[in-house]
Structure 1
């Protein structure tokens, strides 16, 4: 993809290494204004590291190279003062464990008010009024009474809503949601997903949704990037990937989804695990786990190439397009509509 006038954030050749061990191998990704993009893959594939690196939130031992542009403004290697004007105000991030992000000894209202003061310069009665508005916006019942409560007095789902309220305090152009529903039960998860989708539509902000839950991604995203071992191996619209996944890894993720209708069937797991980055492979990183791999795959690393249908694909032997309804992907797509 090329940078367009509507592009908000552009990552180019983004690489990350820890103590000389490369874990991210040249990520190219764009997010347009108002667009919702999903990042999916197993744990350890580099989904969270990509955006932590983009925002300069990795520890000092991490080596980050490449380009990160916000509306053409380079952020990679920018001084801390520059990044602090972006974090929270232009790009906000929420994490999967709100209990570790909320201060247990400060009242919730004060924490939201601090975010409003840092990003919008509000204080006193103005900050309190805006904090109450944000709490109401994210669905916290009786916000005036709960304004002075502590984090432990809220449920897990309510804490995640509070984290979303704090992220919205800076009126960001892009919200990065890093597995925000992982620790929640199915009912609360659905509520949080509906909330994110509604807020995106109401505010016009872009959304990056990081998850290993394909069903959740299908509810809130328009485009999906599948990551494996620090690389994007397939990307396209939700409709493209859910109706006809082409990369063997993407197909494997869908095949491992249990069916909720029809006869019970044994799941088709992906054998093995994500490779250790300390032991880099010469060829395709997925080759040791792939049933379609050949000697060519084991000696050549495929590049992400644009396909005739507009998707990006990095595979020498992709899965042939299947008829709609013949895969678990299509079954899941139908259940989410």
Structure 2
């Protein structure tokens, strides 16, 4: 896969191992300026590890190889001072549990002001005014009164909004949202998704949305990468994947989605679990759970190959095409594009 000057971020053959156990097996991924890309898959598939590795945030026992380029400049293995300019200033990340990400002993206003000082050099009244603007932008009511409150005095949804405000403090070109709605109830989830969409439209930033919620991905993203056992197994536009998922794993994810309206049907769960990275099966990692695996699937690891029109697939036995709209008809109407 060639590099392109038009890409904001390029990952090439990104691999991660912990104590000699490979957990990420050569990720190639491009993010264009202003683009929204979803990473989906079950827990343990490598979605979060991919971006923690890209930003140099993994613990010392992790071994990371490959290339991570920001606007054509290599940042993997860069000096700490250079990475500190990238983190928050160019690429910001928010996590699924805001209560563990916010400092419980510092007032919220001070935490946002600190981010503004680091990334934009603001101080004093200018920093406070900008912090209040950011709090208002993300929908915190009465920000002036709440500026001096602590994290425990906010609800879970408001804490997530505050994390987004802190991420926006550095005016990043790319925001990585790591399952930002998982710990929230359905109503607050919808509000956070709407907020991310609005902020992306207003700021022009790119977005990587990590989630196991296909409905949320369909609302927020334009392109989707499906990950399984540390590899990307299918990639395409939202319309392509949601109208005709071709990898059996992708099809299995859709088959496990309940239908809100329409005829009742029995859910079809994917049998088994994601394999332990230290004991991956030979051949395709999904073959022990795949309903259409053949002998070749158990011996040969399929590469991720282009299928045209931006679509990629790593499978020697693609799922049969579905009737137009069959998969998308299962998605909740409230989160349809």
TM-score, normalising length: structure 1: 0.98
**In the alignment, which residue of structure 2 is the partner of 1:310?**
310
Deviations 1:303-325 (A, max 9, x none): 00000343000000001221213
**In the alignment, which residue of structure 2 is the partner of 1:60?**
60
* Aligned 8 A contact 1:324 1:330 in 2: no
Distance of aligned partners of 1:94 and 1:122 in 2 relative to their CA distance in 1, 3 Å threshold: same
Aligned length, in residue pairs: 336
> What secondary structure does 1:132 align onto?
helix
Q: Within 2, Cα distance between the matches of 1:88 and 1:176?
A: 10
Alignment of 1:91-130 (within 5 A): 91-130=91-130
> What secondary structure does 2:10 align onto?
strand
Is 1:136 the equivalent of 2:156?
no
Offset at residue 282 of structure 1 (A) = 2.1
> What secondary structure does 2:317 align onto?
coil
> What secondary structure does 2:187 align onto?
helix
**In the alignment, which residue of structure 1 is the partner of 2:243?**
243
Alignment of 1:262-301 (within 5 A): 262-301=262-301
Offset at residue 95 of structure 1 (A) = 0.2
Distance of aligned partners of 1:141 and 1:333 in 2 relative to their CA distance in 1, 3 Å threshold: closer
Q: Within 1, Cα distance between the matches of 2:311 and 2:258?
A: 26
Alignment of 1:1-337 (within 5 A): 2-327=2-327, 329-332=328-331, 336-337=336-337
* Aligned 8 A contact 2:260 2:332 in 1: no
Offset at residue 333 of structure 1 (A) = 7.5
Offset at residue 262 of structure 1 (A) = 2.5
Provide structure 2 residue ranges, at least 5 long, that are not aligned to the other structure: none
Please identify runs of 4+ aligned residues in structure 1 that moved more than 6 A.
none
Offset at residue 4 of structure 1 (A) = 2.9
Q: Within 1, Cα distance between the matches of 2:261 and 2:177?
A: 31
* Aligned 8 A contact 1:243 1:333 in 2: no
Q: Within 2, Cα distance between the matches of 1:66 and 1:104?
A: 36
Offset at residue 334 of structure 1 (A) = 5.9
> What secondary structure does 2:81 align onto?
helix
> What secondary structure does 2:264 align onto?
coil
Offset at residue 239 of structure 1 (A) = 0.3
Offset at residue 107 of structure 1 (A) = 0.7
Q: Within 2, Cα distance between the matches of 1:310 and 1:134?
A: 36
* Aligned 8 A contact 2:45 2:227 in 1: yes
Offset at residue 130 of structure 1 (A) = 0.3
Q: Within 2, Cα distance between the matches of 1:155 and 1:334?
A: 27
Offset at residue 164 of structure 1 (A) = 0.1
> What secondary structure does 2:8 align onto?
strand
Q: Within 1, Cα distance between the matches of 2:69 and 2:309?
A: 27
Q: Within 2, Cα distance between the matches of 1:185 and 1:3?
A: 41
Q: Within 1, Cα distance between the matches of 2:14 and 2:213?
A: 25
Q: Within 2, Cα distance between the matches of 1:126 and 1:27?
A: 42
Q: Within 1, Cα distance between the matches of 2:148 and 2:184?
A: 24
* Aligned 8 A contact 2:11 2:68 in 1: yes
> What secondary structure does 1:278 align onto?
helix
Q: Within 2, Cα distance between the matches of 1:95 and 1:129?
A: 25
